[in-house]
Amino acid sequence: MYKILAIDDDPAMTELLALLLKTHSLDVHMANSGEEGIKLIREISPDVIILDLMMPGMDGWQVCAQVRAFSDVPILILSALDSPGMVASALDAGADDYLVKPVPVGVLLAHLNSLTRRPVAKKNFRNNMNIKTAPSPA
């Protein structure tokens, strides 16, 4: 089961994400501020972070920068901002993917699946499950 951390200043949004994603056997944790999100990332080592950009205090760009200072965990931006410049700036700040709200659940799941197929997410997942990989042949 993949561990997802949803960071959004709107509790209704994080609760909705948790409700929708838990029905697909995902372990969902929620944070309603950038500061709380950073703390939880260090505590739970999520496989993917879903992050809003527009938050009071520490915004999504700041969260991205801080996370990238200590982790390669995949970050999916889920934002109402859909201008190409905003998308580019979020990706430049360290995000791995970007979706615009509202997004159909199937599309969100497809993007989460894509992010968890990446090597860093697989490594984090294996570490969380204590799965050892076979050594590569010489």
Per residue of the chain (138 residues), give pLDDT as tens. 799 999 999 999 999 999 999 999 999 999 999 999 999 999 999 999 999 999 999 999 999 999 999 999 999 999 999 899 999 999 999 999 999 999 999 999 999 999 988 665 555 554 554 444 444 444
Q: pTM for this one? A: 0.84
Q: How far apart are CA 26 and CA 1, in angstroms?
A: 6
Q: For residue 136, what pLDDT is reported?
A: 42
Q: How far apart are CA 91 and CA 111, in angstroms?
A: 15
